[in-house]
Structure 1
């Protein structure tokens, strides 16, 4: 079942659940862990009706698709097993090779924000969809000439673009989209997800790390955009795998092995995990409750490390590199966490200082998306502020 758009302000654009099925979002009568075809949801904030503005003269940046090889140079080329020493020459080569991809991520998320948050109207929405369609039509990022660095780049692009598309589709009125264009984009998402899954399935346990968690987040985002239960279930299985890596002290050993970048990568790893758990909760999967000990301990350890990097330094025996860590985009995961599960000691200070929290690969303006509770109660109506309107069933 395809997602439907609103035909008038305040109307759901998604086919509403039947009474029997809708209880999965409250007191469930549906088997736990069952993916419901056509009924996967994004958090409620994705459905906020766009701010009304005059739009002005919207300047849409058109990003030419990345075509050709994704066999890329790692910015850590030449580093030892810790993968913590930047190679400046390799980093320049990486940035040059991935410029279009990184620009594409930023442009589609910016267009989603411009449409939904800033009131730039149909011009911003058209910019979002045309960029997505151009990349989909060019089969961008679907090359077989791809190495492990290219695999990472592909999954990040999928995470950003699927979230941008979700926001546009969820908030737009009836008739805003060309169905053929939407079909091309969703087919592309499915193909990207297939490639991501193929690479990150059955990996050597010694190699499973934050990249796998980001892969799961990208595929989960695509699953909601395309209503693909197979992709959704794969993402949940990868989350289970991640929770199996949390040690008894609440750390991820693979991230601690990054030595001088242990704190950076612990924080980087929890970003997709927090969002996966949030999206799962929205769809009736109590991942946080099921893994409360692991998740709470991990989150507290990350926050403790952010408050005082000496905590991690004492643990791994290396002074921590924290350049760029104390930024809105880096700590954006805290916003949905606090809304969903309450404050972790020390978390509110970072949020108060850095809001609005914004992250391209987590969905854009995260503070906007999660300033209301993301969950959908049994009657399918959230408890929103005035600028989100969802009609009664």
Structure 2
């Protein structure tokens, strides 16, 4: 007789249920299956691109000017001077985010040992410097911290979980990098906890995504549970028509910010699903409703204008790269019509904030050609910054 069969004879149904649930809760966290794929091919020799210089680790105060400096409470009026100051001050952080994604994509495509050495060299350099850990920060600074963690941890996931086991011969580097990720995640949790609903918006969702990616890297249930909790808060904010009230407050950029709020929520839901937590139905399928509202808004933004009285700025929505969230979203809900059209029109999606090769992870059947195109990810956009 099996252990479970024997246990059923000896234990009450209630106690047995608690024990079995405890066993499930202890299962190691894992990413969606697309992160387990092996390296495409192993090429010999050095890459012609070599190893780029590591961006200077950012260890200064995380005090940055906002691109919306001088705007009213809607935070929707762009300030060119302050945006330039922000870009200049955060140059190395953005370079680290985009560069890490690019290096991982190159290695997962070509499998050259030197590419892996380069990637780990970048990450260990920043980890040993304890970069991005300053306790002197403002809102824009803590925003950069969580964005950077999400970018790096979600790229690193592909190295951590690939069935090619590229990290097997690099235990010391992995230990240093992962310990740093853990410190960053703990700080992000501190930065974005205990906010009122009025202050809980896309920033909190992106913080939750960075913590979710890190929770799986480190197999930390406390981080996983925090992220799931923030998803549920986000889902509870979606109204019956699919609007997010705090993003409607962004005036002419309300639709763009609805679109910007979806990617982290969709990623969290797919990672939760991979670990036995089904978030698709939260608040009457809020994530599906939100996605449909944005898709409808892209086709006809009048519903957003009717809701907040502002003609919508459509530049961001016309950028096909801004629809990368459809890859995870379409694994959760039926994907046809406008959703599929936007998805096929933009593929293959590569987003550094979502870990690089989004299409390759979530829709590997999509024909990406030799190498899946180039290794570029979308440039930092008007939504970056705070």
Normalised to the residue count of structure 1, the TM-score between the two structures is: 0.83
Alignment partner, residue 36 of structure 2: 47
> How far, CA to CA, are the matches of 1:328 and 1:47 in structure 2?
27
Q: Contact conserved, 1:71 with 1:149, CA < 8 A, in 2?
A: yes
After TM superposition, list the pairs within 5 Å mapping 1:177-256 onto structure 2.
177-256=169-248
**CA shift in 2, pair 1:32/1:259, >3 Å:** farther
1:348 corresponds to 2:340:
yes
**Aligned length, in residue pairs:** 346
**Helix, strand or coil at the partner of 1:325:** helix
> How far, CA to CA, are the matches of 1:241 and 1:228 in structure 2?
21
> How far, CA to CA, are the matches of 1:267 and 1:297 in structure 2?
12
Alignment partner, residue 131 of structure 1: 122
**CA shift in 2, pair 1:345/1:138, >3 Å:** same
Shift of 1:321: 1.4
Q: Contact conserved, 2:235 with 2:282, CA < 8 A, in 1?
A: no
Q: Pairwise CA RMSD of aligned residues?
A: 2.2
**CA shift in 2, pair 1:162/1:136, >3 Å:** same
After TM superposition, list the pairs within 5 Å mapping 1:353-368 onto structure 2.
353-368=345-360
After TM superposition, list the pairs within 5 Å mapping 1:351-390 onto structure 2.
351-372=343-364
Shift of 1:345: 4.2
Q: 1:169 aligns with which of 160, 180, 183?
A: 160
Q: Contact conserved, 1:299 with 1:344, CA < 8 A, in 2?
A: no
**CA shift in 2, pair 1:243/1:31, >3 Å:** farther
> How far, CA to CA, are the matches of 1:175 and 1:242 in structure 2?
35
Q: Contact conserved, 2:288 with 2:333, CA < 8 A, in 1?
A: no
Alignment partner, residue 150 of structure 1: 141
1:324 corresponds to 2:316:
yes
Alignment partner, residue 315 of structure 1: 307
**CA shift in 2, pair 1:217/1:174, >3 Å:** closer
Q: Contact conserved, 2:242 with 2:286, CA < 8 A, in 1?
A: yes
Larger Rg: 2
Higher helix share: 2
**CA shift in 2, pair 1:252/1:228, >3 Å:** same
> How far, CA to CA, are the matches of 1:35 and 1:92 in structure 2?
47
Note the residue ranges of structure 2 that are not aligned, 5 or more in a row: 6-18, 366-386
**CA shift in 2, pair 1:77/1:35, >3 Å:** farther
> How far, CA to CA, are the matches of 1:175 and 1:280 in structure 2?
24
Shift of 1:181: 1.3
Q: Contact conserved, 1:300 with 1:344, CA < 8 A, in 2?
A: no
Shift of 1:292: 4.3
Shift of 1:120: 4.5
Note the residue ranges of structure 1 that are not aligned, 5 or more in a row: 1-18, 21-28, 374-393
Q: Contact conserved, 2:188 with 2:211, CA < 8 A, in 1?
A: yes
> How far, CA to CA, are the matches of 1:31 and 1:291 in structure 2?
24
> How far, CA to CA, are the matches of 2:302 and 2:166 in structure 1?
54
Q: With CA pairs under 8 Å and 6+ residues apart, which has the higher RCO, 1 or 2?
A: 1
Which stretches of structure 1, 4 residues or more, deviate above 6 A after TM superposition?
none
Shift of 1:296: 1.8
Q: Contact conserved, 1:32 with 1:285, CA < 8 A, in 2?
A: no
**Helix, strand or coil at the partner of 1:206:** helix
Alignment partner, residue 67 of structure 2: 75
> How far, CA to CA, are the matches of 1:195 and 1:138 in structure 2?
16
